[in-house]
Amino acid sequence: MNPGELRQYLEFYKDLGVKDLYVREKAPVIVKPTVSLPPVLPGLAPENDTLAKIREDIGDCKRCRLCEARNKIVFGSGNEEARLVFVGEGPGADEDAQGLPFIGRAGQLLTQMIDGTAKKEGIIITRNDVYICNVVKCRPPENRVPQPDEMEICGQFLFRQLSTIRPKAICALGSTAAKAVLGTKEGVTKLRGNWHKWRDIPVMVTYHPSYLLRPYNQNAKKEAWEDLKAVLHYVYD
Ligand code: URA
């Protein structure tokens, strides 16, 4: 393996949360992951990757336990050349039934937030102009939070989606998306309102629309609109 390929591998594994890979002198290669790994490390994203190829590679996925109760794999939807990508947590019941992301109550709020903020700010885009996907592509039972191994296994496809689209910015919705994209344990309250990075792409973290639907979280709504305003101006001005 040449040094360029090795660097690509290391970056890819870093994105997957693998922090330490080192060689001991006169000893076999020691791989000391800080998170549990799937039995086989995933391969690098193929050259000239496309969303169609990624979807094909996912196939009728049985790589983790989420396949057991899912109806449809929810790959993503929207403009495949979008300058902005929203990343949610995982499909809910409506999404699982239809195979499309963010079409239930939280999705309707997300649509309103994108369309409404853009209109108010004089930015001529709607939800159809952005791309929307999730960290895990199958619905977790009872809408539970995806487990670390499920995020790791599905994360390779999310990273390939992001690398293929190469948007100008990414908006991570909620703490699961923030954890997957930024590899951080910090909560949304700490992360939101500032720019972070995935590889060289700016990332804004904001509240998940489901969180904003709860009546006692109404203060967060104002902050989420502010975050979205900042993202839309950065991407489309
Ligand atoms: N919540 C998510 O995180 N994603 C969806 O697609 C729907 C609800």
By C-alpha distance, which of 233, 152, 163, 158 is closest to 199?
Answer: 163
The pLDDT score that the predictor gives to residue 20 is 56
**Calpha distance 82→76 (Å, rounded):** 12
Which regions in the chain score pLDDT beneath 70?
15-44
Q: Do 152 and 35 form a contact (C-beta atoms < 8 A)?
A: yes
Residue ranges of domains in the chain, CATH in brackets? 40-236 (3.40.470.10)
| Tally of CB atoms within 10 A around 204 | 23
Of 210, 211, 214, which is best to mutate to test ligand 1, by the most ligand atoms within 8 angstroms of its C-beta? 210
Handedness of CA 118, 76, 227, 144 (dihedral sign): positive
**Tens-place pLDDT, residues 67-115:** 999 999 999 999 999 999 999 999 999 999 999 999 999 999 999 999 9
Report DSSP letters for the chain, one per residue.
--HHHHHHHHHHHHHTT--EEEE-TTSPEEEE-SS---SSPPPPPPTT--HHHHHHHHSS--SSGGGTT-SS----EE-TT-SEEEEES---HHHHHHT-SS-SHHHHHHHHHHHHHHHHTT----GGGSEEEESSSSPPGGGPPPPHHHHHHHHHHHHHHHHHH--SEEEEEHHHHHHHHH-----HHHHTTSEEEETTEEEEEE--HHHHHSGGGHHHHHHHHHHHHHHHHHHH-
Contact 134 CB / ligand 1 (< 6 Å): yes
Query: In the beta sheet, which residues pair with residue 204?
Result: 171, 195
Contact 76 CB / ligand 1 (< 6 Å): no
Q: Do 209 and 227 form a contact (C-beta atoms < 8 A)?
A: no
The pLDDT score that the predictor gives to residue 1 is 72
Contact 146 CB / ligand 1 (< 6 Å): no
End-to-end CA distance of the chain: 42
The pLDDT score that the predictor gives to residue 46 is 82
The pLDDT score that the predictor gives to residue 26 is 47
Atom of ligand 1 nearest to the CA of 208: 3
The pLDDT score that the predictor gives to residue 5 is 73
**Calpha distance 200→218 (Å, rounded):** 33
Instruction: Look at the block and give the residue holding tokens 């360029």.
Output: 4
The pLDDT score that the predictor gives to residue 44 is 66
pTM value? 0.86
Q: Do 103 and 88 form a contact (C-beta atoms < 8 A)?
A: no
Q: What is the mean pLDDT of the chain?
A: 90
Q: Do 26 and 8 form a contact (C-beta atoms < 8 A)?
A: no
Q: Do 174 and 92 form a contact (C-beta atoms < 8 A)?
A: no
The Å distance, Cα 94 to ligand 1 centre, comes to: 9
Contact 96 CB / ligand 1 (< 6 Å): no
The Å distance, Cα 101 to ligand 1 centre, comes to: 6
Instruction: Look at the block and give the residue holding tokens 């937030």.
Output: 113
